[in-house]
Chain A
Amino acid sequence: MRTRLRCFVWVGLVSMVALVCLASIGEALAGESPGLAYFRQAKINWRQFEGQKLTIGLNKHQYTESLLPLIGEFEALTGIKVEYLILPENEYGAKLTADLSQQRGEFTVIMAGAMRNWGYVPPGWMVPLDDFLKNPKLTDPSWYKLEDFFPGLIAANRWNGKFAGGTGEGPLWSIPVMSESYILPYRKDIFDQYKIKVPTTYEEMAEAARQVKQKAGIDGLVARGTANFPTIATGYLSGVKSYTDGKWAELDEKMNAQFTDPRVIKFSQIWTDMLRESGPANWANMTWYDGMETFAAGQAGMYPDCDFFAATYEDPKKSKVAGKVGYALLPAGPGGSTYSGLFTWALGMSKATKNKEAAWLFIQWATSPRTLLNATVEYKNYNPTRVSVMNDSRTQKVMGGWGNGTYLKTVQENLKTARIAWVPNPERPRLGDTWARALHEMYFKRLTPEQAMQRANDEVNKIFTEIGLRK
């Protein structure tokens, strides 16, 4: 009995070993994957760092999802071993900051971007990428085509390190892989049916919301409402900048908070009144996701927020309003112009990386025209950051259909003037949280708008004094 069992075990082991051998021989015989041929066109030696190891830490996102199946291709191309870790966004932020702060080097290639760079660059945690781009041994400029990226997005990732200014100049800290700007999707069917005017000012927007609520019985609009900085970052901040003609910033050069500007107070009042009157009952609890789902479920008339949510609105499997949405620019301020904010996720490099050139090869590979095209076309990574990807027929086919063409038209118009709305400072989360809390105080009428903004002002001033950036 025992000898028979041992016999089985041996047969099992031998057959497993045989299978593995056959499989690897088979794979070797199958030849190179077709994708590698594309990368071999670049006039650099991809294998110059063969045998090295990289640990990549990224946050969960359509773009990072698109990279996962291709990691094997990168390893075959370069001979560099890649270990990667994907974490949900909040967790990623905390873990990344801890790793950078102790310069442990566990995260080499990192997900950064305009706003995050402001926290990571001043302590010297990131490596500028210009030298890698200019090095002919590491980058083939005619193949990689840095100029193919939308200029505004590259500018957003340049920063000269000065707080309260300096975006767009200085070293390039990260390569953008995804962009979003803020527009006004609205229920074209409802607006047409009840002859509601598509708003061009914020006062008109309040009126349109009121009419949608009265006549169509659904919430006039939705907006983010939780008491933290993402609530400020999108429609609201774009509105503030529009209302102040793009000339106001939340901090001046001396890092003094500027919330008590009467135009900001007035706009905040318009915004919170509009939401209280015609917005959802649980505004104070709404994340971007709740807002997007509510609009896609047909429960709201407008959602001034991320443009690329259109991918959800126009998908009949995910939304009830596919084909019924129009896309307009955000309303203008009294000066007549609209200023949309901008956000990008971008790949950067940690200073604690031991093999920086190998990490640059990864960044170059991950942001090459083909990888980004794949991310957008196959994995719905919107909005694309390369002009070639945006103009590709497959992208155009998908995005061109949204809103009967109004989406592309509006977004391309928007990208001409969209810019990072925040002022470079390392305390954006805390500043934003304090600001959002002031909005809550206004919304629930616990304080008058003036009092709420004054309190936010004082709190933010205290924060910057505490960290030594404000005298």
Chain B
Amino acid sequence: MPSQAGRLRAGHRTAMLPYLLMLPALLLLVGMLYPFCLGVYYSLTSYFLQYPHLFRFIGLGNYVKLPGDPLFAYSVQFTLVYTAVAVLIQVSLGVGVALLLHARIVGRGVLRAMMLMPLMMPPVITALMWKVMMASTKAGILNYLLGLVGLGPVNWLGSVNGAIVSVLIIDTWGNLPFVSLILLGGLQSLPYEPYEAAFVDGAGSVEVFRYITLPLLKPFIILATTFRVMDSLRIFDVIYATTVGGPADATMNLHMRAFFYAFQWYQMGMGMAYAMVLLALVFVASYVLMGYWRRAAEQTEL
């Protein structure tokens, strides 16, 4: 029979349990917070690795210089436009692919397994593989295939517009499976009653898609969009492995800029300022999108 004191101690222990379970996650959070806070601090200083004597707290000095920096305006514009276009393409195609994989066709299992392959490759390997395929001469595989249908060789990575399109292609190839996977999961979780009712009412497949599938899929679409928006805003590895921000700074988004300032030119203060701007963009985007997602999830009550 546990004594009074023993029962008290046991009570304490069970009360502590949730906190103890959270401890590893808390430690990780603190571990991440320290470099983050340091980064915020550095963005408020004139920290040049090579000139320690110039180190000084300058408040918003770095941020004030940003609008005057010719590289900044383009980086913001490119980051936003790229994200918008990439997410639009990826989610639209993702819905299509998910619908195809949901349909009862022969070899569905094999197709689904094949779809997952790009997800399994590290982004840098993907980028390098595509870089070889996108060689600008007729010797490149892509240009060779284009040549077979009579189209001229495209300067994939060496021209300003070609580079942007190429990065888009590589990014889409690598991340479409992810979007499709989320949407496929969504499709599979949809209730069948609305479809039955629609069938009884004699609705065509287009109307079924427009009035039943799409609205019910809304939370999943928004979820996939949120992930892709956050990733596209921050895209780095594909660009670094293929064009390194070129040509002529065409693919220089905010993340690449921050990298150049911090790790090529050793200007930590300015680099962190760029990173903070990117962080603000990502935060705002995810906050807005999560709000949409919550509302959509409530609407569909899934």
Contacts and interface: CB of A to CB of B under 8 A. Distances in A.
Given A227-B248, A281-B136, 16 more contacts: A94-B266, A98-B49, A123-B52, A225-B247, A227-B249, A228-B244, A281-B155, A284-B247, A285-B158, A430-B264, A433-B265, A440-B246, A440-B247, A444-B247, A455-B70, A468-B54
B245 interface: yes
A170 to B, nearest CB: 19
A97 B156 CA distance: 35
Interface string A449-471: 00000010001000000011000
A281 B158 contact: yes
Nearest to A282: B158
Interface in B222-261: 242-249, 260
Interface of B: 48-54, 70, 135-137, 153, 155-160, 163, 242-249, 260, 263-266
Given A281-B158, A426-B50, A226 B136 contact: no
A227 B247 contact: yes
Contact of B249 (A285, A299, A437, A467): A437
Contacts of A97: 49-50, 266
Contacts of A281: 136-137, 153, 155, 158-159
Contacts of A106: none
A98 B160 CA distance: 34
B96 to A, nearest CB: 32
A441 interface: yes
Nearest to A297: B139
Nearest to A467: B51
A284 B159 contact: yes
Contacts of B245: 227
B266 A285 contact: no
Contacts of B50: 97, 101, 119, 123, 426
Contacts of B158: 225, 280-285
The residue in A101, A283, A284, A433 that gathers the most chain B C-beta atoms within 10 A of its C-beta is A284
The residue in B156, B242, B244, B248 that gathers the most chain A C-beta atoms within 10 A of its C-beta is B248
A56 B43 CA distance: 32
Contact of B260 (A98, A284, A433): A433
Interface string A415-435: 000000000001101100100
A282 B49 contact: no
B265 A285 contact: no
Contacts of A101: 49-50, 52
A282 B51 contact: no
Interface of A: 90, 94, 97-98, 101, 119, 123, 225-228, 280-285, 299, 426-427, 429-430, 433, 437, 440-441, 443-444, 446, 455, 459, 467-468
23 contacts: A97-B50, A101-B49, A123-B51, A123-B53, A226-B244, A228-B264, A280-B136, A280-B158, A281-B137, A283-B158, A284-B158, A284-B159, A284-B247, A299-B137, A427-B265, A429-B266, A437-B248, A437-B249, A440-B247, A443-B248, A444-B159, A467-B51, A467-B54
Contact of A430 (B52, B53, B159, B265): B265
Contacts of A98: 49
| A contact face: mostly helix, strand, loop, or mixed | helix
Contacts of A441: 248
Nearest to B48: A467
Nearest to B154: A281
A434 B269 CA distance: 19
Contact of A94 (B243, B247, B263): B263
Contacts of B53: 123
List the 4 closest pairs (A to B, CB-CB), nearest first: A282-B158, A284-B247, A440-B248, A282-B136
A187 B292 CA distance: 63
Contacts of A123: 50-53
Nearest to B166: A285
A447 to B, nearest CB: 10
B263 A226 contact: no
A278 B174 CA distance: 35
B54 A285 contact: no
B264 A433 contact: yes
Nearest to B49: A101
A182 to B, nearest CB: 23
B125 to A, nearest CB: 16
A429 B249 contact: no
Contacts of A433: 260, 264-265
A226 B54 contact: no
A440 to B, nearest CB: 4
A391 B224 CA distance: 65
